[in-house]
Structure 1
Amino acid sequence: MSKEFNVPPVVFPSGGNPNTGPQQRRLPTAPFQPARSANSSIPFMSFDIGSSPASTSFVTPQFGTVIGGASANFDDEPPLLEELGINTKQIWNKTASILNPFRVKADLHEDADLSGPILFIMAFGLFQLLAGKLHFGIIFGWTTVASLFLYVVFNMLAGRNGNLDLYRCLSLIGYCMLPIVMLSALSLFVPQGGVLIFAMTGVFVIWATRVCTSLLVELASCGDEHRGLIAYACFLIYMLFSLLVVF
């Protein structure tokens, strides 16, 4: 015997029955918008960007004027080397004056600078590095000590009349390092420990001593009275640097 079950009928939201007629499709609602109903009392607020009033407190920057003014300012600025105090023409003239030990132009060295001395010291260290000797720290240290030594010796000899400052002394010693730099470059092609390297060392040391002594005597007051002592101090300085090349 079969038993009957009382099943309640299924009621769809459209109110229709799929067995009796076609079903109506519900239209999907837009995202972020609630379904509208008759009982809802709060309407949906729509935000319209274009309806907001334009603010008058913000001022649009004029990029064309700023760029034009900046370019005009850049055109009026001096070159970078001139701002750093590096005068390549002056360095070249001072270097050319040292190449002739018999005609030293002291007027070119009245304006002291450290650009040329640093260049010569770095070149000296580079040639020593090519020879297998790392002497950058030693060269810079010895140059500073030599400048202090010559500054103290000269001012002790000149007394109150001495007008040689440390900055000019360092500049002169650095520029007169050019013969030692040339000796370091030529020593790469000369056998070490031979007679030729010692003869070259003597020539270049005397060259550097003569140039440095002439510049100190002409640029500093009371230098002509103590030319021999100044030459001896310069000879000791450049002989010390030449020992780095020979040994």
Structure 2
Amino acid sequence: MSKEFNVPPVVFPSGGNPNTGPQQRRLPTAPFQPARSANAGIPFMSFDIGSSPASTSFSTPQFGSTISSGSTNFDDEPPLLEELGINTKQIWNKTVSILNPFRVKADLHEDADLSGPILFIMAFGLFQLLAGKLHFGIIFGWTTVASLFLYVVFNMLAGRNGNLDLYRCLSLIGYCMLPIVILSALSLFVPQGGVLIFVMTGVFVMWATRVCTGLLVELASCGDEHRGLIAYACFLIYMLFSLLVVF
């Protein structure tokens, strides 16, 4: 007994079928393209770019006025160093005044700043690094402690009439660090442990002590009465920094 199977009709690409006759061929459509209607007048941009009308709603941007106003505002801005509060001319004048220990110009140090002291402290640490000693943290820490020490000592000696603030004290100690920085640079060319390095250390420490004492006496009130004690405190501070160079 034979069994019948239902075979589906076969559709040929040519559009004909021997059993059912010719069929209408469907044109391929692009993917994700919406179905068109007879009254649709908006073309699909992905495939009908050529048929879309040119848009004239965009205008050409004008950059002339913007660039001119931006350049004008940029020319009116102050320099970067001036915005940061760094006066290079003032730092140079203060540095030159420190180089002459017998003629201290105290009027140049009336406006205290920390740009010069930080520069000298970094230079001191750099020369120590060239000598194989990493002392950046020690130098910054000792400078802070020395400023607090000198501030407390001076105000205790002056009493209620003392007008030395901590900011000016830190500025003076930093600027008077210049002789120690020079000593650190010269020690790179001098044998360690010899007599010459000790003689140089004594000379530069006395230089820094004299300059710092003169500035404190001139700038702060009631300092002339206790010049010896102030000089002793300054001597201890710069002798402490010189030990980093010698040993």
Provide the TM-score with structure 2 as the length reference: 0.80
- Is the 8 Å Cα contact of residues 117 and 171 (structure 2) preserved in structure 1? yes
Matches of 1:53 and 1:165, distance apart in 2: 77
Q: How many angstroms apart in 1 are the aligned matches of 2:172 and 2:94? A: 10
Question: 1:117-139, CA deviations, whole angstroms, 9 ceiling, x for partnerless residues?
Answer: 00000000011111111100000
Q: CA shift at 1:51, angstroms?
A: 12
Deviation at 1:15, TM superposition (A): 8.9
Structure 1 gaps, min length 5: none
What is the Cα deviation at residue 65 of structure 1? 2.8
CA 232–15 in structure 1, closer or farther in 2 if over 3 Å, else same: closer
Query: Does the 8 A contact of 2:15 with 2:22 survive in 1?
Result: no
Higher mean displacement: 180-189 or 35-44 = 35-44
- CA positional deviation for 1:72: 1.0
Distance 1:122 1:152 in 2: 26
Q: CA separation in 2, counterparts of 1:191 and 1:46?
A: 82
Contact 1:14 1:24 in 2 (8 A): no
Contact kept? 1:158, 1:222, Cα under 8 Å? yes
1:156 aligns with 2:156: yes
Alignment TM-score, normalising by the size of structure 1? 0.80
- Is the contact made by 2:43 and 2:52 (CA closer than 8 Å) also made in structure 1? no
| 1:135 equivalent in structure 2 | 135
The answer as to whether partners of 2:124 and 2:181 remain within 8 angstroms in 1 is yes
Q: Is the 8 A contact 1:29 1:35 kept in 2?
A: no
Structure 1 position 85, deviation (Å):
0.6
Tell me what 1:41 maps to. Answer: 41
- CA deviations on 1:208-229 (whole Å, 9 max, x unpaired) are 0000000000001111111101
Which piece of structure 1 moves more, 168-177 or 33-42? 33-42
Distance of 1:12 and 1:41 partners within structure 2: 35
In the alignment, the residues of structure 2 paired with residue 6 and residue 169 of structure 1 have an alpha-carbon distance, to the nearest angstrom, of 108
Shift of 1:61: 6.9
Unaligned stretches of 5+ residues in structure 2? none
Give the length in aligned residue pairs. 247
Q: CA RMSD in A?
A: 5.3
User: Following the alignment from structure 1 to structure 2, what is the Cα–Cα distance between the partners of residues 126 and 135?
Assistant: 9
- 2:121·2:139 contact (CA, 8 Å) conserved in 1? yes
Query: Which residue is equivalent to 2:23?
Result: 23
Instruction: Flag the structure with larger Rg.
Output: 1
The farther-off stretch of 192-201 and 7-16 is 7-16
Alpha-carbon offset, residue 68 of structure 1: 2.3
